[in-house]
Amino acid sequence: MNDLTNAVSPPEQAGRPGGRIRSRRPGRRVLPWLPMAVIALLTVFAVVGPWLIPYGESQGSLPGRLAPPFRTGGDGAFHLLGTDQLGRDIFVRLAYGARVSLLVGVVGVALACLIGTMVGLLAGILNKSVDAALMRGTDVALSIPGLLIAILLASIFTPSIVTVFVSVGLLLWPTYARLIRGEVLVLKNSDFVALARVAGCSTWKIIVRHLLPNVLPSIIVLATLQIGAAVVLEASISFLGVGLPPNKASWGSMIDQGRQYMSTSWWLTAIPGLFIFLAVMSFNALGDWARVRFDPRLEGRR
């Protein structure tokens, strides 16, 4: 077989024959440093902010209420971003709010991811009737507007961060379920899975070794994209007053509480909103980058 030994060229990148050569798009491979920096800063702010700022979360003083940013309030204390209608320091409340937002973003999405991936995997792998049943369930879950779920949960249980986690998880899981099911259905019929079956792999091994590693990039990309959605959702829930208890700081409830003082004290609503905007924008930018980098097919699916 000596005519074959020189058949091996060095294992270079060999494009698929007939495949299109993808042309270069500038800036696709560099890391999105700006959003990453914003997210890192917000995280640091959330973790150490409450320690560094010499005010408590709900420590207020009525004489010092509604102090504008960068001014000393009526009670003689300096507040970097001003105070709210109860004289509470906005900066420190933003830090506590950042904790809530980031926590809800991560835990809520993780929950959604867990439920959605399980349902999607089961629907994709098991037989057609299970698939149909699970997909109908997903449709029903999708059909109830997300905020209503949060409102209902809040009206049934005492509002706490846990109900917010659950609301976010319940709202976001169907997207995962649909995505994972679609990918699993394609992968399940792929040649390499058929060959794995010929090699004697059990269904469990096929899931762990062949299906999950191949859907993982999509899961990660979708998760990044959904953290932004979760942050907006948390803000909306808190805005409606069905999220955390009223004395707890959250960006959404800060907007709500500031609304009444809008005509005189714009900073009460403007600043928390800006934080939401920056955080969501950064997570979305990161997610978009990850999508282009890892999985261009995900475009438009949210």
Partner 1 sequence: MLKFILVKLAQALVSVFGASIIVFLLARASGDPVNLMVSANATTEEIESLRATLGLDRSLLEQYLTFLSHALRGDFGQSIHYHRPAIDVVMSSVGATLMLGSIAFLVTVLLAVPAGVYAAARRDGRFDRCVRGLAAAAQALPSPWVGTLLILLFSVTLGVLPTSGSQGWQSFILPVTTLVIFSIAGLLRLTRSSMLETLGTEYVRFARVKGVSERAVLWRHAFRNASLSVLTLGALVLLSMLSGSIIVETVFGWPGIGRAVVQAVNQRDFPVVQVIVLFMSVAYIMGNFVVDVLYACLNPRIRSA
Partner 2 sequence: MNTSDAAVPRRASSSTTQPPQGEDILLSIHGLSLSIDTARGKLSILHDVSLQLARGESLGIVGESGSGKSMTVNAVLGLLPLGARIDAGAVVFLGKDMGALDEKAKRALRGSRIGTILQDPTASLNPALRIGHQVSEPLRVHGGASVSEAYEAAVDLIERVGIPDAQRRVRQYPHQFSGGMRQRIVGASAISCKPDLLIADEPTTALDVTVQAAYLDLLSGLQAELGAGLLFISHDLGVVSRICDRVAVMYAGRVVETAATRTLFSSARHPYTMGLVSCLPSITEVGQRLTPIPGNPPDPAEGQAGCPFANRCPAAVDRCASEVPALREIAPGHQVACHRADEGLQTQQLWPVTSSITVSDRDDAPERFARTPPTLELSRAKKMFTIKRTLLGTPSVQFCAVDSVNLQVFRGESVSVVGESGSGKTTCIRMALGLEQPTSGVVRFAGKDIARLDRQGRREYRRRVQAVFQDPYTSFNPRMSIARVVAEPLMELGDMSRQDISTRVDQVLAQVGLEPRRVRDCFPHQLSGGQRQRVAIARALSTEPHCLVLDEPVSALDVSIRVQILNLLRDVQQDTGVGILSISHDLGAVKYMSDRVIVMHRGVFVEEGTAEQVYHRPQHEYTQKLLADAAAGHGVLHAGMQ
Q: Which residues contact partner 2 by CB under 8 A?
A: 1, 3-18, 20-24, 28-29, 190-192, 194-201, 205, 209-210, 213-214
Cα(284)–Cα(278) distance, rounded to whole angstroms?
10
State the number of binding residues for partner 1 (CB under 8 A): 48
- Who's near 225: CB < 8 A, 6+ residues apart? 283, 284, 287, 288, 290, 291, 298, 302
Structure tokens at 22: 């993808």
- Minimum gap (Å) between residue 28 Cβ and partner 1: 10
Q: Of 263-302, which residues contact partner 1 (CB under 8 A)? A: 263, 266, 269-270, 272-273, 276-277, 280-281, 284-285, 288, 299-300, 302
CB of 238 to partner 1, least distance (A): 9
Packing angle between helix 146-156 and helix 161-188, nearest 10 degrees?
Answer: 140
From partner 2, partner 1, none, interface partner of 122 (C-beta below 5 to 8 A by class): none
CA gap 249, 220 in Å, rounded:
29
Name the residue nearer to partner 1 (CB basis): 117 or 284: 284
For the bound state, the minimum distance from the C-beta of residue 129 to partner 2, rounded and expressed in Å, comes to 9
CA distance 145 to 118: 22
Our finding on whether 257 is near partner 1 (CB under 8 A) is no
Among partner 2, partner 1, none, residue 281 binds (CB under 5-8 Å by kind): partner 1
Task: Using CB under 8 A, pick the residue from 86, 118, 142, 196 that binds partner 1.
Answer: 142
Give the contacts of 137 (CB within 8 A, at least 6 positions apart). 119
Site for partner 1 in 10-49 (CB under 8 A): 25
Q: Are 58 and 49 within 8 A, CB to CB?
A: no
Binding mask 194-233 for partner 1 (x = CB under 8 A): ----------------------------------x---x-
| Residue 12 binding: pick among partner 1, partner 2, none (C-beta 5-8 Å cut-off by kind) | partner 2
DSSP 202: -
Report the distance separating Cα 68 and Cα 73, nearest Å: 8
How many CB atoms sit inside 10 A of residue 212's CB?
16
Q: Could you tell me if 235 and 251 are in contact, meaning their C-beta atoms sit under 8 angstroms apart?
A: yes
Secondary structure class of 97 (helix, strand, coil)? helix
Q: Which residues bind partner 1 (CB under 8 A)?
A: 25, 136-137, 139-140, 142-148, 151-152, 154-156, 228, 232, 235-236, 239-242, 251-252, 255-256, 258-259, 262-263, 266, 269-270, 272-273, 276-277, 280-281, 284-285, 288, 299-300, 302
